[in-house]
Amino acid sequence: MSDKIRLEIVSAEQELFSKDVEMVYAPAEMGEVGVSPKHTPLITKLKPGDVRAQISKDEIETFYVSGGILEIQPSEVTILSDTALRGEDLDEARAIEAEKVAQEAMRNSSNEMDTQKAKSELLQAAAQLRLIKKLKGKVKNK
Amino acid sequence: MSSSQEIRTQIASIQNTQKITKAMEMVAASKMKKAQDQMVKARPYADKILNVMSHLAHAHPEYESAFLHERDVKTKGYIVISSDRGLCGGLNNNLFKKVLDMVTKDKESNINSAFGLVGNKASSFFQRSGGEVIAQTSQLGDKPTVEQVLGLIKNVVDKFLQGEIDEVYLVFNKFINTVSQEPEVAKILPISIAEKNKEYDFYWDYLYEPDAKEVLDSLFTRYLESLIYRSIVENLACEQASRMVAMKAASDNATDLIAELQLIYNKNRQAAITQEISEIISGAAAL
């Protein structure tokens, strides 16, 4: 089908999604990209955030990725996710906890590596929280 | 001949051992199943990344990545994947022997070796046998994650990029089926991209964001991570399969031993009874 594009989301530990979709939105490093069918070949890194797959006009599925690589071919999009959990499965409490721990570590950190690690953990936790809030808002609006 | 009491204690102790080996066999069987599932789950990622790599072979990036750069080999790196625990037959030793063979051969042609080790068994073996260990990790548990080995991979890859290691080999056990596993050595660095497919042979290239170097290097790193993760999971399945077979053999041996001892015990008992009867009869005859 020409008006659809194949989207495959995989993480090293399992396959997460494999379907024909109308449009894909992904958090590329240089800003969010929207991919429609027959896109020119592109390859880029992803930053933590959510990937949205427009399956049909009113069906969108959301995934959280904590980074990875996005490859686009005219008829397929491949997302090699570092760790991707289903959006619905995200544990809000865990994200808040991780944020707290990360913040604490940042305050007390003594060496460069701890700071860097804490920073990236903070970034991920914040992205997870954003997604959860978004998902929650959607439920309320229905 | 030993007394009946002694034989009885011996039988009891073997029975206890047998209970343990039986339990271990069953635990290993279920863990093997889980490891195999994990192996299957890891496949899509590996396939996809290979797919992207083969697309890349047809593209014409202007950037020449250091990951692909072949050079004269002065030092070989080995990433050796072993189990944390023993009691799994000759699994680890067969693997280590293979590595040692290669290392000895290299030494003859003046090539040094360096090791990145996964698992307790490899750590203790290569510490004893000598050789430069650049990184090691262990205690991955029954459900290894990519995260656990990132440090090790980074260490080895950095050494390769800095030119301290010229080639990197991955050594692990390949899962053929439950009863057979084979040590496998695969060259992972420099990366050799798959053969070109004629169909794609027109000039094109990706758009790279932010730039080719950054994207390609992180793609290659992930490719290596996926290779190593997959072989760790595969090695885990091998470990459990091999343990299962070893424990089954141990349980069978215990059964044989118990049967033998039981026979001796019965013969002993029979002899004692016969002796008693003949003593009673001869006593009665004397009256």
Sketch the domain layout of chain B as residue ranges. Answer: 27-244
Residues 6+ apart with CB under 8 A from B230: B39, B42, B43, B46
Q: Residue B200: CA atoms inside 13 Å, Cβ hemisphere, count? A: 14
- Whole-angstrom Cα distance, residue A47 to residue A63? 13
Q: How many residues does chain A have?
A: 142
For the ranges B7-11, B53-57, B225-229, the lowest mean pLDDT is seen at: B53-57
Confidence at residue A87, expressed as pLDDT on a 0 to 100 scale: 40
Name the more confident of A66 and B169: B169
**Does residue A100 carry a pLDDT above 70?**
no
- Is A34's Cβ below 8 Å from some Cβ in B? no
- Is B249's Cβ below 8 Å from some Cβ in A? no
How many other C-beta atoms lie within 10 A of the C-beta of residue B59? Answer: 16
How many other C-beta atoms lie within 10 A of the C-beta of residue B26? Answer: 13
For the ranges A28-32, A130-134, B280-284, the lowest mean pLDDT is seen at: A130-134
Token representation of residue A24: 């894909």
- Is A58's Cβ below 8 Å from some Cβ in B? no
Interface of A with B in 38-57 (CB under 8 A): 40-45
Residues 6+ apart with CB under 8 A from B117: B79, B80, B82, B123, B126, B133, B135, B136, B137, B138
User: Which superfamily, per CATH, for A5-87?
Assistant: F0F1 ATP synthase delta/epsilon subunit, N-terminal (2.60.15.10)
Strands A68-73 and A76-81: antiparallel
Beta bridge partners of A70: A44, A79
Report which of B230, B37, B226, B188 is spatially closest to residue A82, judged by C-alpha positions: B226
pLDDT category, A109, cuts 50, 70, 90?
A: very low
| B-chain residue closest to A15, CA distance | B44
User: With a threshold of 0.90, does the pTM exceed it?
Assistant: no
Partner-chain contact B209 A78, CB within 8 Å: no
Buried b (16+ CB within 10 A) or exposed e, B196-228: eeeeeeeeeebebbeebeebbbbbbbbbbbbbb
From A80's Cα to the closest Cα of chain B, the distance in A is 7
**Angular region, B125: left φ>0, alpha ψ -120 to 50, beta rest:** alpha
**Does residue A92 carry a pLDDT above 80?**
no
Q: Which among A13, A30, A69 is the nearest to B219, CB-wise?
A: A69
**Does residue B12 carry a pLDDT above 90?**
yes
| Mean pLDDT for the stretch of residues B120-145 | 78
Confidence at residue A2, expressed as pLDDT on a 0 to 100 scale: 55
Q: In B, which residues are within 8 Å of A29 by CB distance?
A: 209-210
Name the more confident of B110 and B196: B110
| Mean pLDDT for the stretch of residues B87-103 | 89
Q: SS3 for A142? A: coil
pLDDT category, B26, cuts 50, 70, 90?
A: very high
Integer-rounded Cα Rg, in Å, for chain B is 28
Q: SS3 for B208? A: strand
Name the more confident of B143 and A89: B143
Q: What is the dihedral of CA B215, B219, B225, B231, to 10 degrees?
A: 180
CATH architecture entry for B27-244: 3-Layer(aba) Sandwich (3.40)
DSSP type of residue A39: P
Give the type of residue at B113.
S
**Does residue A89 carry a pLDDT above 50?**
no
Confidence at residue B245, expressed as pLDDT on a 0 to 100 scale: 93
| A-chain residue closest to B144, CA distance | A13
Give the type of residue at B165.
I
pLDDT category, A90, cuts 50, 70, 90?
A: very low
Token representation of residue B269: 């008992």
- Is A101's Cβ below 8 Å from some Cβ in B? no
Report which of B193, B182, B191 is spatially closest to residue B231, judged by C-alpha positions: B182
For the ranges A41-50, B65-74, B102-111, B206-215, the lowest mean pLDDT is seen at: B206-215
Place of tokens 């030494």: B107
- Is A30's Cβ below 8 Å from some Cβ in B? yes
Q: In A, which residues are within 8 Å of B61 by CB distance?
A: none
Q: How many residues does chain B have?
A: 287
Mean pLDDT of chain B: 85
Percentage above 70 pLDDT, chain A: 70
DSSP type of residue B264: H
Token representation of residue B82: 């072993």
**Does residue A114 carry a pLDDT above 80?**
no
Size of interface A-B (CB pairs under 8 A): 84
- Whole-angstrom Cα distance, residue B227 to residue A43? 21
Give the type of residue at B68.
L
Rounded to whole angstroms, what are the CA distances from B33 to B41, B229, B233? 12, 18, 12
Interface of A with B in 102-141 (CB under 8 A): none
- Whole-angstrom Cα distance, residue B214 to residue A118? 23
Q: In B, which residues are within 8 Å of A13 by CB distance?
A: 38, 41-42, 45, 145-146, 229
**Does residue A133 carry a pLDDT above 50?**
yes
Sign of CA dihedral B103, B140, A122, B217: positive
Q: In A, which residues are within 8 Å of B48 by CB distance?
A: 8, 10, 78, 80
Percentage above 90 pLDDT, chain B: 33
Confidence at residue A16, expressed as pLDDT on a 0 to 100 scale: 86
**E strand map for B4-51:** none
Test mutation, A43, A46, A85, chain B, max B CBs within 10 A: A43
Report which of A81, A71, A76 is spatially closest to residue A51, judged by C-alpha positions: A81
- Is A15's Cβ below 8 Å from some Cβ in B? yes
| A-chain residue closest to B229, CA distance | A12
Give the type of residue at B112.
N
Q: Which among B44, B225, B229 is the nearest to A15, CB-wise?
A: B44
pLDDT category, B246, cuts 50, 70, 90?
A: very high
Q: Where are the domains of chain A?
A: 5-87, 90-141
Q: Which among A8, A42, A68 is the nearest to B207, CB-wise?
A: A42
Q: In B, which residues are within 8 Å of A40 by CB distance?
A: 207
